[in-house]
Amino acid sequence: MNRFDMKVVLSLVLMFSYVANGAISFGRGHYDRRALMGAPLPTGTASAGGVFDLSKCAGAKGDGVTDMTTQLNQAWKDACSSKTPAKILIPLGNWLVGELKFLGPCASPVTIEVQGTLKAKPDLASFPSGMWINIFQASGVHITGGGTLHGQGEATWKTKKPGDKAFPDSVVFSQCPNSGIENVHIVNSKGFNLKAVQSDGFKVNSVTISCGLDGSNTDGIHIAKIKDVSITNTVIGVGDDCISVGDDSVGVTIDKVTCGPGHGISIGSLGRYPDEKDVRNVAVTNSIFKNTDNGARIKTLHESPSLVASNISFIGITMDNVTNPIIIDQNYFANKPGASKVKIAGVTFKNFKGTTNSIKAVTLKCSTAVPCQGVSLTDIDLTYCGKDPAAKLTSICENVKPTVGGKMNPPESMMNRFDLRVVLGTTLVISYVANGAINFHLRYYDRRVLMDKPLPTRARSAGVPDVSGATVFDISKSAGAIGNGQADMTVGTLKAKPDIGSFPSGMWISIFQASVHIIGGGLLHGQGEAVWKTKKPGDKAFPDSVVFSLLILSSTGASNVKITGVTYKNFTGSTNSIRAILLKCSSAVPCEAISFTDINFTYCGKNIVNNKLKSLCENVKPTFAGKMIPPGC
């Protein structure tokens, strides 16, 4: 029978005594993976500094079978109560433990020297608080020794189902100033590998972190609500972000880090919680990305609180077969209609080299509510290493006007995206544009008119919108515009460049999510005669001249098209993408009754490391039956 007595002493001092024949569970409650809670333990029994050797404890066996949880927790209590700096020694051997509560405050700094292998129990039930090694409210704690912290996550990763709570993190420092970890291997965490929250002055050096690709949400290092952090000389290969920098992180130095496989080094995601604070002064330098899904990334969510991410730099970066080398994504998990209110300002991408397997080498998708400011790219030299021999690197820039300098591959011209913002209720008239592919993403406005010559003064015929008094953007007045048919810009006749390479998206004039009228009596000339005879059997489709897609009239919300009752059954074959199933449904009217039965795909792509097929589901709960490759989401 579990008995729990509570005694309250005058002056509001609360004391607990207990007798328990079962597990005592300290739950995380609504812990949102940023801040932690705990309670200090009474001081231990040690009265002087020294070395607390785990192998000297009663019943100690480093055989990987004997449970050493009680002995190691007691060693912490003794070391923590020492009046002089103390050390906990975990010698050679395999030491099996469950949840470790290393709770302070301590009388002096404590060093945990791991020479052998400390193994977490393989089951989830042994970690009721959601952490394996929980270091709380203890300053000056350092983990070192050259040994291994093995989370045994491989025993649990494949059991995780959608909606399950987060799996236990391996090492968590919370409210531990001037602490750190050095010369240690962290292997196969069930959840995040290493986390530091509210622990100013935290240092990571010469650490290796590795997880199998089956381990989802196994971030290598996550920091938040923290100042003056350095992460150096570290190698990380995980199933999620190598490093994720959360909110209220200030003064972060990341240098000489090798990342891969994984999702890159990310600022964010930001904007998930209403009380988040600014991120500033983050520098990532001299680092390498190998076979990662992303490289240098900043990501924010829709309908976020108003905060700022500023003075962020990625300098001296090498990419090796990376999918999204440079990416700002302010539509990350865009399952809410409101735009992100995280303002991104003062971001530097400089001295990048290497290879990418995607033609989208630079993707800058900034918020429509607070466009990015002060984004610069200098000396970006990336080479395409994908399967399409005719592909050319491109860039995507939305709601941002980056400054560009030095050598640029993808070319600078790919970043000259025509981007206009007008007030709702007005008419936008684009009188003239021609510089390679014309890509319009003019969302959330009432009326737009694309014209291929200046507005005539005569009245419009029936059925043509009245654009009198509309704002006119006459690109023929732009610097360098010459209407002689030789330069990129012409007047009266809009000509497509004759080469195929100028149109990587397969379209010349792409009008996307906009109410657009093309008028004016002029000529749109695709110059297809220069390429028609070059087409061979098996070539991909040549660029279309004018494409209207996902037309939205005077709309700011999510799609209101309801998709219901869709069946996918008996699919076989191969795919060159790891995302075999992609369901992105509307946040306004989620998909219903989507079913998958007997789906059997094989990956045939180039990536021999990250080759596990996956599913992605947003705003939908599909049903799955029969053989499923990839697994359902």
- Active-site positions read 263
Coil vs helix vs strand at 529:
helix
282 near 249, Cβ under 8 Å?
yes
Side-by-side strand order, sheet with 447-451: 471-473, 427-430, 447-451, 516-519
Strands (E), 533-603: 544-549, 564-575, 579-584, 592-603
Q: How many C-alpha atoms does 538 have within 13 Å on its Cβ side?
A: 1
595 near 628, Cβ under 8 Å?
no
Beta bridge partners of 86: 110
Please give the structure tokens belonging to residue 517: 């009228």
Q: Is the peptide bond before 371 cis (omega within 30 degrees of 0)?
A: no
218 near 241, Cβ under 8 Å?
no
Side-by-side strand order, sheet with 131-136: 100-103, 131-136, 169-174, 194-197, 221-224, 243-245, 265-270, 294-301, 324-332, 360-365, 394-398
Coil vs helix vs strand at 156:
coil
What are the backbone angles phi and psi of residue 396, rounded to the nearest 5°?
-125, 125
Closest alpha carbon to 553 in 588, 581, 516: 516
542 near 570, Cβ under 8 Å?
no
How far is residue 353 CA from its own chain's centroid?
21
Q: How many C-alpha atoms does 12 have within 13 Å on its Cβ side?
A: 0
Spatial separation of the C-alpha atoms in residues 287 and 258, rounded to whole Å? 6
Pairing outcome for strands 13-19 and 3-9: antiparallel
Q: Is the dihedral of CA 186, 190, 193, 199 positive or negative?
A: negative
Exposure class string for 35-45: b at 16+ Cβ within 10 A, else e: bbebeebeebe
Q: Is the dihedral of CA 127, 131, 136, 141 positive or negative?
A: positive
DSSP letter string, 267-310? EEEE-SSTT---EEEEEEEEEEEESBSEEEEEEEETT--SEEEE
Exposure class string for 364-399: b at 16+ Cβ within 10 A, else e: bbbbbbbbbeebebbbbebebebeeeeebbbbbbbb
- DSSP label at 43? P
Please give the structure tokens belonging to residue 196: 């530091």
H/E run at residue 181:
strand 180-182
